[in-house]
């Protein structure tokens, strides 16, 4: 009976992790769409639009981060109490995904507060973000029979928060995995 319960929790944790990843991607796309729209029009965001964007971002952040705390607590309990290695690993993976979603939401909120411009002095090292995204998406790539490879490169930083860069890179890699197809159909 306990094994069945652990397996159900394991399955629920995996589903929650996937749903949170999808939620993060959707929120990222939504905020990015607002920013891109403003940039494409060549508009400067006036004070009222900046305030609206801040309020919207604040509501979204609150609505996303609130439920995440209870999910995080539940996954933490599963990670600590699971007797089998696999449920513990999945719970830990879910906790890492939650931490990444929280980082993305906080960075998007900061981005919105800054009027859709990077925060002054915001810098992010590229290598750790790439490593984290590849670790997170490795199993998805394996299931799709795709090798994820990062060619060596010099240390690089970009002008944005970790969450923003993570969101961009993760979306690119997810789309690459999704649209590559099987090795026999890719040319």
Could you tell me the mean pLDDT of each successive run of 10 residues in the chain, 187 residues long? 77 73 68 63 60 72 75 83 83 83 74 61 86 86 87 86 81 84 48
Determine the distance from the C-alpha atom of residue 59 to the mean position of all C-alpha atoms in its chain, rounded to a whole number: 18
Q: What is the pLDDT of residue 84?
A: 84
Interhelix angle for 85-113 vs 47-81, to 10°?
170
Domains and CATH numbers, the chain: 1-117 (1.20.58), 118-187 (no CATH)
Q: Of the candidates 125, 75, 78, which has an alpha carbon nearest to the alpha carbon of residue 97?
A: 75
Q: What is the pLDDT of residue 185?
A: 43
Say if residues 78 and 17 touch (Cβ distance below 8 Å).
no
Q: What is the pLDDT of residue 70?
A: 76
Specify the DSSP class assigned to residue 8.
H
Helix or strand holding residue 158 (H, E):
strand 157-158
Q: What is the pLDDT of residue 167?
A: 79
The bridge status of strand 157-158 relative to strand 124-125 is antiparallel
Q: What is the pLDDT of residue 50?
A: 63
Cβ neighbours for 125, distance < 8 A, ≥ 6 positions apart: 155, 156, 157
Q: What is the pLDDT of residue 121?
A: 74
**CA–CA separation, 128 and 142 (whole Å):** 21
Cβ neighbours for 124, distance < 8 A, ≥ 6 positions apart: 157, 158, 159, 160, 161, 162, 164, 165
CA dihedral 95, 79, 147, 99 (to 10 degrees): 10
Whether the model clears a pTM of 0.75, i.e. scores above it, the answer is no
Q: What is the pLDDT of residue 127?
A: 92
What's the residue count for the chain?
187
In degrees, to the nearest 5, what angle opens at C-alpha 163 toward C-alphas 158 and 165? Answer: 35
**CA–CA separation, 164 and 82 (whole Å):** 33
């Amino acid at each position: 009976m306990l094994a069945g319960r652990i397996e159900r929790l394991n399955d629920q944790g995996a589903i929650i992790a996937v749903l949170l990843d999808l939620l993060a991607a959707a929120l990222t796309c939504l905020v990015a769409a607002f920013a891109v729209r403003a940039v494409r029009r060549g508009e400067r965001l006036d004070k009222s639009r900046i305030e609206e964007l801040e309020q919207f971002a604040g509501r979204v952040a609150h609505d996303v981060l609130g439920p995440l705390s209870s999910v995080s607590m539940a996954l933490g309990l599963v990670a600590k109490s699971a007797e089998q290695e696999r449920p513990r690993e999945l719970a830990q993976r879910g906790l890492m995904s939650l931490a990444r979603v929280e980082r993305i939401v906080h960075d998007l909120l900061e981005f919105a507060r800054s009027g859709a411009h990077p925060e002054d002095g915001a810098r992010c090292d590229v290598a750790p973000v790439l490593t984290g995204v590849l670790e997170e998406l490795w199993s998805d790539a394996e299931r799709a029979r795709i090798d994820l490879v990062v060619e060596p490169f010099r240390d690089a930083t970009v002008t944005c928060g970790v969450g923003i860069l993570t969101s961009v890179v993760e979306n690119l890699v997810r789309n690459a995995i999704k649209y590559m197809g099987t090795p026999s159909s890719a040319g």
